[in-house]
Protein backbone atom coordinates (compact mmCIF):
# COMPACT_ATOMS: atom_id res chain seq x y z
CA UNK A 1 0.00 0.00 0.00
CA UNK A 2 1.11 3.58 -0.66
CA UNK A 3 3.10 5.06 2.23
CA UNK A 4 1.65 7.81 4.41
CA UNK A 5 2.90 11.31 3.74
CA UNK A 6 6.32 12.02 5.28
CA UNK A 7 6.46 8.83 7.32
CA UNK A 8 6.80 5.06 7.05
CA UNK A 9 3.65 4.57 9.12
CA UNK A 10 0.63 6.66 10.05
CA UNK A 11 1.00 8.74 13.19
CA UNK A 12 -2.47 8.98 14.73
CA UNK A 13 -2.44 11.02 17.95
CA UNK A 14 -5.60 9.52 19.45
CA UNK A 15 -4.87 7.61 22.66
CA UNK A 16 -6.31 4.18 21.84
CA UNK A 17 -4.96 2.28 24.85
CA UNK A 18 -7.81 2.19 27.40
CA UNK A 19 -5.62 2.44 30.48
CA UNK A 20 -3.61 5.37 29.09
CA UNK A 21 -6.80 7.01 27.84
CA UNK A 22 -8.46 6.85 31.25
CA UNK A 23 -5.34 8.06 33.06
CA UNK A 24 -4.97 10.97 30.67
CA UNK A 25 -8.63 11.87 31.10
CA UNK A 26 -8.20 11.96 34.88
CA UNK A 27 -5.07 14.09 34.57
CA UNK A 28 -6.80 16.45 32.12
CA UNK A 29 -9.61 17.11 34.60
CA UNK A 30 -7.09 18.78 36.89
CA UNK A 31 -5.23 20.79 34.25
CA UNK A 32 -5.80 24.43 33.27
CA UNK A 33 -8.24 24.28 30.37
CA UNK A 34 -8.89 26.22 27.19
CA UNK A 35 -12.08 26.32 25.16
CA UNK A 36 -10.69 26.09 21.64
CA UNK A 37 -12.21 27.28 18.37
CA UNK A 38 -14.09 24.93 16.07
CA UNK A 39 -11.11 25.06 13.69
CA UNK A 40 -8.64 24.03 16.40
CA UNK A 41 -11.00 21.25 17.51
CA UNK A 42 -11.23 19.98 13.94
CA UNK A 43 -7.44 20.06 13.71
CA UNK A 44 -7.32 17.91 16.86
CA UNK A 45 -9.73 15.41 15.30
CA UNK A 46 -7.60 15.23 12.15
CA UNK A 47 -4.39 14.86 14.15
CA UNK A 48 -6.06 12.16 16.22
CA UNK A 49 -7.13 10.19 13.16
CA UNK A 50 -3.75 10.27 11.43
CA UNK A 51 -4.83 12.56 8.61
CA UNK A 52 -2.16 15.12 9.50
CA UNK A 53 0.70 12.60 9.53
CA UNK A 54 3.59 13.34 10.17
CA UNK A 55 2.63 16.31 12.39
CA UNK A 56 2.77 15.83 16.17
CA UNK A 57 0.59 18.78 17.15
CA UNK A 58 -0.09 22.46 16.60
CA UNK A 59 2.46 24.61 14.78
CA UNK A 60 4.27 27.57 16.32
CA UNK A 61 4.24 31.02 14.74
CA UNK A 62 7.43 30.57 12.74
CA UNK A 63 6.18 27.29 11.23
CA UNK A 64 2.71 28.72 10.54
CA UNK A 65 4.17 31.77 8.80
CA UNK A 66 6.63 29.62 6.84
CA UNK A 67 3.85 27.31 5.69
CA UNK A 68 1.55 30.19 4.77
CA UNK A 69 4.20 32.06 2.81
CA UNK A 70 6.25 29.26 1.26
CA UNK A 71 4.58 25.94 2.16
CA UNK A 72 7.47 24.81 4.35
CA UNK A 73 7.98 24.48 8.09
CA UNK A 74 11.24 25.60 9.69
CA UNK A 75 12.47 21.99 9.55
CA UNK A 76 11.84 21.91 5.79
CA UNK A 77 8.68 19.78 5.79
CA UNK A 78 6.47 20.61 2.81
CA UNK A 79 2.98 21.49 4.09
CA UNK A 80 0.25 23.62 2.47
CA UNK A 81 -1.73 25.21 5.32
CA UNK A 82 -1.03 26.17 8.95
CA UNK A 83 -2.29 23.68 11.56
CA UNK A 84 -2.76 25.91 14.56
CA UNK A 85 -4.49 26.49 17.87
CA UNK A 86 -5.33 30.19 17.97
CA UNK A 87 -7.35 31.78 20.75
CA UNK A 88 -8.38 35.22 21.93
CA UNK A 89 -7.69 34.76 25.67
CA UNK A 90 -4.83 33.03 27.47
CA UNK A 91 -5.29 34.24 31.07
CA UNK A 92 -6.63 30.86 32.24
CA UNK A 93 -3.57 28.98 30.98
CA UNK A 94 -0.92 31.60 31.72
CA UNK A 95 2.35 29.86 32.62
CA UNK A 96 0.95 26.34 32.21
CA UNK A 97 3.14 23.71 30.57
CA UNK A 98 0.31 21.28 29.97
CA UNK A 99 -3.33 22.14 29.29
CA UNK A 100 -6.66 20.49 28.57
CA UNK A 101 -8.39 21.54 25.35
CA UNK A 102 -12.18 21.74 25.51
CA UNK A 103 -14.51 21.08 22.59
CA UNK A 104 -16.72 24.03 21.52
CA UNK A 105 -19.01 21.80 19.45
CA UNK A 106 -20.38 19.54 22.19
CA UNK A 107 -22.65 20.38 25.13
CA UNK A 108 -20.68 20.86 28.33
CA UNK A 109 -17.45 21.42 26.37
CA UNK A 110 -15.80 18.08 27.21
CA UNK A 111 -12.05 17.64 26.92
CA UNK A 112 -10.99 16.77 23.37
CA UNK A 113 -7.20 16.67 23.85
CA UNK A 114 -4.28 17.41 26.13
CA UNK A 115 -1.57 19.71 24.82
CA UNK A 116 2.00 20.23 25.95
CA UNK A 117 2.56 23.96 25.69
CA UNK A 118 5.83 24.75 23.95
CA UNK A 119 5.02 28.39 23.33
CA UNK A 120 2.25 30.96 23.61
CA UNK A 121 2.95 33.63 21.01
CA UNK A 122 1.06 36.78 20.21
CA UNK A 123 0.34 37.17 16.51
CA UNK A 124 0.09 40.66 15.06
CA UNK A 125 -2.62 41.84 12.72
CA UNK A 126 0.00 42.06 9.97
CA UNK A 127 1.12 38.45 10.58
CA UNK A 128 -2.47 37.22 10.52
CA UNK A 129 -2.99 39.12 7.27
CA UNK A 130 0.17 37.62 5.79
CA UNK A 131 -1.00 34.11 6.67
CA UNK A 132 -4.44 34.83 5.25
CA UNK A 133 -2.92 36.14 2.01
CA UNK A 134 -0.64 33.12 1.68
CA UNK A 135 -3.27 30.48 2.36
CA UNK A 136 -6.38 32.03 0.80
CA UNK A 137 -4.75 34.32 -1.74
CA UNK A 138 -6.71 37.23 -0.29
CA UNK A 139 -7.40 39.20 2.88
CA UNK A 140 -10.96 39.99 1.80
CA UNK A 141 -13.23 39.53 4.84
CA UNK A 142 -16.04 38.46 2.49
CA UNK A 143 -14.15 35.23 1.85
CA UNK A 144 -15.63 32.73 4.36
CA UNK A 145 -12.27 31.12 5.08
CA UNK A 146 -10.59 34.46 5.69
CA UNK A 147 -13.42 35.62 7.94
CA UNK A 148 -13.21 32.48 10.06
CA UNK A 149 -9.42 32.53 10.27
CA UNK A 150 -9.18 36.19 11.21
CA UNK A 151 -11.87 35.88 13.90
CA UNK A 152 -10.07 33.20 15.94
CA UNK A 153 -7.93 35.46 18.12
CA UNK A 154 -4.33 36.63 18.28
CA UNK A 155 -2.58 34.10 20.54
CA UNK A 156 -1.02 30.99 19.01
CA UNK A 157 -0.46 28.02 21.32
CA UNK A 158 1.98 25.46 19.92
CA UNK A 159 3.02 22.01 20.99
CA UNK A 160 2.27 18.28 20.68
CA UNK A 161 -1.13 16.89 21.62
CA UNK A 162 -2.73 13.65 22.73
CA UNK A 163 -6.30 13.27 21.53
CA UNK A 164 -9.08 11.88 23.70
CA UNK A 165 -12.16 12.43 21.55
CA UNK A 166 -13.29 12.62 17.94
CA UNK A 167 -15.83 15.29 18.95
CA UNK A 168 -19.36 14.88 17.60
CA UNK A 169 -18.35 13.02 14.46
CA UNK A 170 -18.49 9.47 15.79
CA UNK A 171 -21.88 9.89 17.47
CA UNK A 172 -23.52 11.93 14.69
CA UNK A 173 -22.08 9.92 11.78
CA UNK A 174 -21.40 6.41 13.15
CA UNK A 175 -21.71 4.76 9.73
CA UNK A 176 -19.66 7.36 7.87
CA UNK A 177 -16.95 8.96 10.02
CA UNK A 178 -13.65 7.13 9.65
CA UNK A 179 -10.10 7.87 10.68
CA UNK A 180 -7.26 7.49 8.21
CA UNK A 181 -6.25 4.41 10.20
CA UNK A 182 -9.67 2.80 9.70
CA UNK A 183 -9.76 3.63 6.00
CA UNK A 184 -6.31 2.09 5.43
CA UNK A 185 -7.42 -1.04 7.24
CA UNK A 186 -10.59 -1.29 5.16
CA UNK A 187 -8.69 -0.82 1.91
CA UNK A 188 -6.38 -3.67 2.97
CA UNK A 189 -9.39 -5.85 3.80
CA UNK A 190 -10.82 -5.21 0.31
CA UNK A 191 -7.47 -6.18 -1.19
CA UNK A 192 -7.49 -3.01 -3.31
CA UNK A 193 -4.13 -2.00 -4.76
CA UNK A 194 -5.20 1.14 -6.64
CA UNK A 195 -7.73 3.46 -5.02
CA UNK A 196 -9.15 6.74 -6.32
CA UNK A 197 -10.10 9.36 -3.75
CA UNK A 198 -13.04 11.70 -4.38
CA UNK A 199 -13.53 14.73 -2.12
CA UNK A 200 -16.96 16.23 -1.70
CA UNK A 201 -18.74 18.80 0.43
CA UNK A 202 -21.82 18.63 -1.84
CA UNK A 203 -24.31 16.00 -2.94
CA UNK A 204 -23.20 13.97 -5.96
CA UNK A 205 -25.12 14.35 -9.20
CA UNK A 206 -24.69 12.41 -12.44
CA UNK A 207 -21.55 14.31 -13.45
CA UNK A 208 -19.80 13.48 -10.15
CA UNK A 209 -20.92 9.87 -10.37
CA UNK A 210 -19.53 9.50 -13.88
CA UNK A 211 -16.33 11.33 -12.95
CA UNK A 212 -15.61 8.64 -10.38
CA UNK A 213 -16.16 5.98 -13.03
CA UNK A 214 -13.94 7.81 -15.52
CA UNK A 215 -11.13 8.09 -12.98
CA UNK A 216 -11.40 4.43 -11.99
CA UNK A 217 -11.29 3.34 -15.63
CA UNK A 218 -8.40 5.67 -16.55
CA UNK A 219 -6.26 4.62 -13.58
CA UNK A 220 -7.22 0.95 -13.45
CA UNK A 221 -8.36 1.40 -9.87
CA UNK A 222 -9.97 -1.38 -7.85
CA UNK A 223 -12.24 1.01 -6.00
CA UNK A 224 -13.12 4.59 -5.18
CA UNK A 225 -13.11 6.28 -1.78
CA UNK A 226 -15.95 8.79 -1.64
CA UNK A 227 -14.73 10.94 1.21
CA UNK A 228 -17.10 13.63 2.39
CA UNK A 229 -16.35 16.54 4.68
CA UNK A 230 -18.48 16.34 7.82
CA UNK A 231 -17.36 19.50 9.64
CA UNK A 232 -18.47 23.11 9.62
CA UNK A 233 -19.41 24.70 6.29
CA UNK A 234 -20.48 28.12 5.15
CA UNK A 235 -24.10 29.22 5.29
CA UNK A 236 -26.14 27.76 2.45
CA UNK A 237 -24.15 24.53 2.03
CA UNK A 238 -26.18 21.32 2.35
CA UNK A 239 -25.89 19.60 5.77
CA UNK A 240 -23.76 16.48 6.01
CA UNK A 241 -26.69 14.21 6.96
CA UNK A 242 -28.52 15.09 3.75
CA UNK A 243 -25.41 14.66 1.59
CA UNK A 244 -24.67 11.35 3.26
CA UNK A 245 -28.15 9.98 2.58
CA UNK A 246 -28.13 11.06 -1.07
CA UNK A 247 -24.66 9.67 -1.76
CA UNK A 248 -25.49 6.33 -0.13
CA UNK A 249 -28.62 6.00 -2.25
CA UNK A 250 -26.66 6.76 -5.43
CA UNK A 251 -23.96 4.19 -4.64
CA UNK A 252 -26.50 1.56 -3.60
CA UNK A 253 -28.39 1.80 -6.89
CA UNK A 254 -25.79 2.73 -9.49
CA UNK A 255 -22.39 1.27 -8.56
CA UNK A 256 -21.35 -2.39 -8.60
CA UNK A 257 -21.02 -3.96 -5.13
CA UNK A 258 -17.64 -3.68 -3.37
CA UNK A 259 -16.30 -0.92 -5.61
CA UNK A 260 -17.05 2.11 -3.41
CA UNK A 261 -16.21 3.07 0.17
CA UNK A 262 -18.45 5.83 1.57
CA UNK A 263 -16.67 7.62 4.37
CA UNK A 264 -16.35 11.03 5.97
CA UNK A 265 -13.84 13.03 7.95
CA UNK A 266 -14.08 15.61 10.73
CA UNK A 267 -12.65 18.80 9.34
CA UNK A 268 -14.01 22.32 8.92
CA UNK A 269 -13.93 23.51 5.31
CA UNK A 270 -11.29 26.16 4.62
CA UNK A 271 -12.41 27.22 1.11
CA UNK A 272 -8.72 27.78 0.37
CA UNK A 273 -8.80 26.62 -3.25
CA UNK A 274 -5.33 25.51 -4.46
CA UNK A 275 -3.77 25.28 -0.99
CA UNK A 276 -6.66 23.18 0.27
CA UNK A 277 -6.42 20.94 -2.79
CA UNK A 278 -2.86 20.04 -1.77
CA UNK A 279 -4.00 19.44 1.79
CA UNK A 280 -6.76 17.18 0.48
CA UNK A 281 -4.18 15.21 -1.49
CA UNK A 282 -2.14 14.68 1.69
CA UNK A 283 -5.28 13.49 3.51
CA UNK A 284 -5.95 10.91 0.79
CA UNK A 285 -2.37 9.67 0.64
CA UNK A 286 -2.56 9.16 4.39
CA UNK A 287 -5.82 7.24 3.85
CA UNK A 288 -4.06 4.91 1.41
CA UNK A 289 -5.39 6.30 -1.89
CA UNK A 290 -3.05 6.04 -4.86
CA UNK A 291 -4.93 8.62 -6.94
CA UNK A 292 -6.97 11.71 -6.14
CA UNK A 293 -9.49 13.53 -8.34
CA UNK A 294 -9.08 17.28 -8.57
CA UNK A 295 -11.67 18.95 -10.72
CA UNK A 296 -12.73 22.39 -11.70
CA UNK A 297 -12.66 24.98 -8.88
CA UNK A 298 -11.67 22.39 -6.27
CA UNK A 299 -12.25 23.72 -2.71
CA UNK A 300 -13.01 27.14 -4.15
CA UNK A 301 -15.58 29.75 -3.31
CA UNK A 302 -16.91 32.71 -5.28
CA UNK A 303 -14.49 34.07 -7.86
CA UNK A 304 -11.37 34.03 -5.70
CA UNK A 305 -9.60 31.33 -7.73
CA UNK A 306 -9.28 30.42 -11.38
CA UNK A 307 -11.15 27.29 -12.50
CA UNK A 308 -8.00 25.16 -12.69
CA UNK A 309 -5.72 26.85 -10.14
CA UNK A 310 -6.14 23.84 -7.84
CA UNK A 311 -4.59 21.64 -10.53
CA UNK A 312 -1.86 24.09 -11.55
CA UNK A 313 -0.46 24.32 -8.01
CA UNK A 314 0.77 20.73 -8.30
CA UNK A 315 2.94 21.82 -11.24
CA UNK A 316 4.15 25.13 -9.85
CA UNK A 317 4.41 24.83 -6.07
CA UNK A 318 4.55 21.16 -5.07
CA UNK A 319 8.17 19.93 -5.10
CA UNK A 320 8.81 16.97 -7.36
CA UNK A 321 8.52 13.75 -5.42
CA UNK A 322 6.98 15.40 -2.36
CA UNK A 323 3.75 13.44 -2.75
CA UNK A 324 3.41 9.82 -3.82
CA UNK A 325 -0.28 10.13 -4.60
CA UNK A 326 -1.08 10.86 -8.26
CA UNK A 327 -3.52 13.58 -9.28
CA UNK A 328 -6.33 12.78 -11.72
CA UNK A 329 -7.11 16.11 -13.38
CA UNK A 330 -10.73 16.49 -14.30
CA UNK A 331 -12.45 19.08 -16.44
CA UNK A 332 -16.02 20.24 -15.93
CA UNK A 333 -18.36 17.32 -16.61
CA UNK A 334 -21.90 17.54 -17.96
CA UNK A 335 -24.51 15.59 -19.93
CA UNK A 336 -24.02 15.77 -23.68
CA UNK A 337 -27.25 15.92 -25.65
CA UNK A 338 -25.28 14.92 -28.75
CA UNK A 339 -23.72 11.79 -27.24
CA UNK A 340 -26.44 10.99 -24.70
CA UNK A 341 -23.97 10.55 -21.84
CA UNK A 342 -21.84 12.46 -19.35
CA UNK A 343 -18.59 13.78 -20.84
CA UNK A 344 -15.67 15.96 -19.83
CA UNK A 345 -16.11 19.20 -21.73
CA UNK A 346 -12.46 19.25 -22.84
CA UNK A 347 -13.01 15.94 -24.65
CA UNK A 348 -15.78 17.28 -26.92
CA UNK A 349 -14.43 20.41 -28.66
CA UNK A 350 -17.19 20.21 -31.26
CA UNK A 351 -19.85 20.95 -28.61
CA UNK A 352 -21.40 24.33 -27.87
CA UNK A 353 -22.98 25.38 -24.59
CA UNK A 354 -26.38 24.44 -25.97
CA UNK A 355 -25.21 20.84 -26.42
CA UNK A 356 -24.93 20.34 -22.64
CA UNK A 357 -27.45 20.15 -19.84
CA UNK A 358 -26.05 22.66 -17.36
CA UNK A 359 -27.73 23.91 -14.20
CA UNK A 360 -26.28 26.45 -11.80
CA UNK A 361 -26.30 25.70 -8.10
CA UNK A 362 -28.80 28.50 -7.59
CA UNK A 363 -31.12 27.08 -10.24
CA UNK A 364 -30.88 23.59 -8.72
CA UNK A 365 -31.78 24.92 -5.26
CA UNK A 366 -34.71 26.90 -6.69
CA UNK A 367 -36.09 23.87 -8.53
CA UNK A 368 -35.70 21.58 -5.52
CA UNK A 369 -37.28 24.13 -3.19
CA UNK A 370 -40.25 24.45 -5.54
CA UNK A 371 -40.65 20.68 -5.70
CA UNK A 372 -39.74 20.62 -9.39
CA UNK A 373 -38.05 17.55 -10.83
CA UNK A 374 -34.43 17.90 -11.91
CA UNK A 375 -33.60 16.55 -15.37
CA UNK A 376 -32.68 12.87 -15.05
CA UNK A 377 -29.57 13.61 -17.11
CA UNK A 378 -28.45 15.98 -14.34
CA UNK A 379 -29.39 14.04 -11.21
CA UNK A 380 -30.55 10.56 -10.39
CA UNK A 381 -34.25 10.76 -9.43
CA UNK A 382 -33.65 9.00 -6.11
CA UNK A 383 -30.97 11.54 -5.20
CA UNK A 384 -33.12 14.46 -6.33
CA UNK A 385 -36.00 13.19 -4.15
CA UNK A 386 -33.85 13.28 -0.98
CA UNK A 387 -32.59 16.78 -1.79
CA UNK A 388 -36.06 18.04 -2.73
CA UNK A 389 -37.49 16.89 0.59
CA UNK A 390 -34.73 18.74 2.42
CA UNK A 391 -35.25 22.02 0.53
CA UNK A 392 -39.02 21.90 0.84
CA UNK A 393 -38.69 21.36 4.59
CA UNK A 394 -36.26 24.26 4.71
CA UNK A 395 -38.78 26.55 3.03
CA UNK A 396 -41.38 25.73 5.71
CA UNK A 397 -39.18 27.00 8.53
Active site residues: 201-202
CB of 142 within 8 A of CB of 151?
Answer: no
Tens digits of per-residue pLDDT, 116-145? 999 999 999 999 999 999 999 999 999 999
Looking at residue 371, what is its pLDDT? 84
User: Cβ(75)–Cβ(29) under 8 Å?
Assistant: no
pLDDT tens digits for range 237-279: 788 899 999 999 999 999 999 999 999 999 999 999 999 999 9
The residue-averaged pLDDT of 204-217 equals: 94
Instruction: Inform me whether the pLDDT recorded for 302 exceeds 80.
Output: yes
What's the per-residue H, E or C state across the chain? Answer: CCCCCCCCCCCCCECCCHHHHHHHHHHHHCCCEEECCHHHHHHHHHHHCCCCCCCCEECCHHHHHHHHHHCECCCCCECCCCCCCEECCCHHHCCCCEEEEECCCCCCCCEEEEEECCEEEECCHHHHHHHHHHHHCCCCCCCHHHHHHHCCCCEEEEEEEEECCCCCHHHHCCCCECCHHHHHHHHHHHCCCCEEEEEECCCCCHHHHHHHHHHHHHHCCCEEEEEEECCCCCCCCCCHHHHHHHHHHHHHHHCCCCCEEEEEECCCCCCCCHHHHHHHHHHHHHHCCCEEEECCCCCCCCCCCCCCHHHHHHHHCCCCCCCCCEEEECCCEEEECCCCEEEEHHHCCCCCHHHEECCCHHHHHHHHHCCCCCCCCCCCHHHHHHHHHHHHHHHHC
381-396 helix and 240-254 helix, angle to the nearest 10 degrees:
160
Residue 315 confidence (pLDDT): 97
Please count the CA atoms within 13 angstroms of the CA of 64 that sit on its side-chain side.
Answer: 27
Across the chain, mean pLDDT equals: 95
Q: What is the pLDDT of residue 363?
A: 82
Confidence of residue 282 (pLDDT cuts 50, 70, 90): very high
Q: Answer whether residue 331 shows pLDDT above 70.
A: yes
> Does the domain made of 175-265+273-396 have the CATH classification 3.40.50.150?
no
Half-sphere exposure of 343 (CA within 13 A, CB side): 18
- Mean pLDDT over 221-248 rounds to 89
Residues 6+ apart with CB under 8 A from 105: 38, 41, 167, 168
**CATH number 3.10.400.10 given to 18-167:** yes
Instruction: Report pLDDT digits (tens) over 144-164.
Output: 999 999 999 999 999 999 999
Cα separation, 187 vs 142, in Å, equals: 40
Give 58's pLDDT tier (boundaries 50, 70, 90). very high
pTM: 0.94
Domain map (residue ranges) of the chain: 18-167, 175-265+273-396
The model's pLDDT over 341-368, given as tens digits with 9 standing for 90+, comes to 999 999 999 999 999 998 877 788 788 8
Give residue-wise pLDDT tens across range 371-397: 888 899 999 999 999 999 888 887 666
Amino acid sequence: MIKPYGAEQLKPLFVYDTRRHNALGQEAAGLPSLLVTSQAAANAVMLGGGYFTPLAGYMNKADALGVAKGMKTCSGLFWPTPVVNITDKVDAINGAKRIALRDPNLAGNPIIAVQDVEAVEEVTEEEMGAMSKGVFGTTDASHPGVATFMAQGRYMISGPIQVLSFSYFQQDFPDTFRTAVEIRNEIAEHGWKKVVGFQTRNPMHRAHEELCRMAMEATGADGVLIHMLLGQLKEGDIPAQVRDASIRKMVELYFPPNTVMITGYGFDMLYAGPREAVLHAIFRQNCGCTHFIIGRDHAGVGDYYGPFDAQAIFDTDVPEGALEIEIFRADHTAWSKKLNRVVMMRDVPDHTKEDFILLSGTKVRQMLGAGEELPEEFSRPEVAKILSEYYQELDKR
